[in-house]
Structures are given as structure tokens and as C-alpha cells.
Amino acid sequence: VPVRNGGKATVVRWNGTSWIDEGIPGPPQGAAAVWCTGDDNVWLAAGTSTLGTLLYKKGGGWTIDSTQPTTSVISDITGHSATEMFIVGRKSTPDVLAVWKGTGSSWTELPALPSSDWFTPIQLYAPGDGKVVLGGYDIDESSFLDKQLALYIYNSTTWTKLLSPAGEDLVY
């Protein structure tokens, strides 16, 4: 579970009787999300408003992922397996929202999201087979006032954008 502790990223784990601090090293702040397949494969997306950081724990201690994409913010991380993971974040240059697929040893940027300038990501979901669903809020560009829930669905080749009817929520 990611926890904010005076601005520093903290991850705690329930051992059956109490919560244990997992001891995140170094500077990571602003824990955004944690995802794991078990005790020997835990990933943490953290960072500040200017630098996103991915850390992983594979059996031993925490390590900063040296293969991570250059992002200013990492909003979420999820996966289907230890070799099929996804992150969403803002690229540093240019400043756009992007999604990357990870194998556990490298990251590949997926094709650009269709019309995502006013989209705020909330959660990623990875059902498997290279597919990923990104849910969040989209701003109506005609009024810049109305926000509606949106889903971006990646079928391992292309993205499809689904918007909720005005004033209604999508369940995802």
C-alpha cells in the first residue's frame, strides 16, 4: 500500500498480524501507485511534479529502475504478469500523456492516445494479451467546463476512446 509520510514515499505490507514498513530508499516522494505479482516482484510509481521514479523489489531490497522512460509524473502502474506491465505518465518532452509497456527489463511507449490533451488519468487495468484499459476524466473541449468519464482501450494495436454520456459516470 503506498502511503504519504511527510512527502516521502512509503510502502507498507500486511504480514498477517501487523503492517510492516518496506523501507523505500533514497529520494522518491509522492507515492502514486504500487503493483505486485507477489513478494518477489513489487513495483512502486513515485516522484515529484518534475520527476517520475519507478522502483522495484525482486526478492531483495528496492532498486530504482534504470530502464524507465523519462517522465515528469507517473500516475499509475499495473500489469498482467511480471513480464507484462504498464505505466501511465506525462512525458517530459513534449509534455503529453503517454502509456508504456514493460517486460520487467525494458519499457516501450505505446502509440499516442487519441485526443488526450484534456484527459486526467485515474486508473490502469491490464486484462492480458497486451491489452490495457485507461480510465479517467476528459474535459469537454467545446466548453472547458464539463468533465466526463472516459475510457481508452488498447487492443495491443490501437486505442479506442469511449466517453460517458454527458453528466453520467462510466463504471470500469
Q: What is the per-residue pLDDT across 117-165, written as a single tens digit (0 to 9) for each?
A: 677 888 899 998 989 999 888 776 666 666 778 889 999 999 998 877 7
Q: What is the per-residue pLDDT across 42-60, written as a single tens digit (0 to 9) for each?
A: 888 876 655 677 888 887 7
Residue with cell 525482486: 58
Q: Which of 14-28, 57-71, 93-107 has the highest mean pLDDT?
A: 93-107
pLDDT at 172: 44
pTM: 0.80
Could you tell me what percent of the chain has a pLDDT over 70? 76
**What is the mean pLDDT of the segment spanning 12-39?**
77
Rg of the chain over CA atoms, in angstroms?
16
* Dihedral (Cα; 93, 122, 59, 80), 10-degree rounding: -100
Mean pLDDT, the chain, as a whole number?
Answer: 78
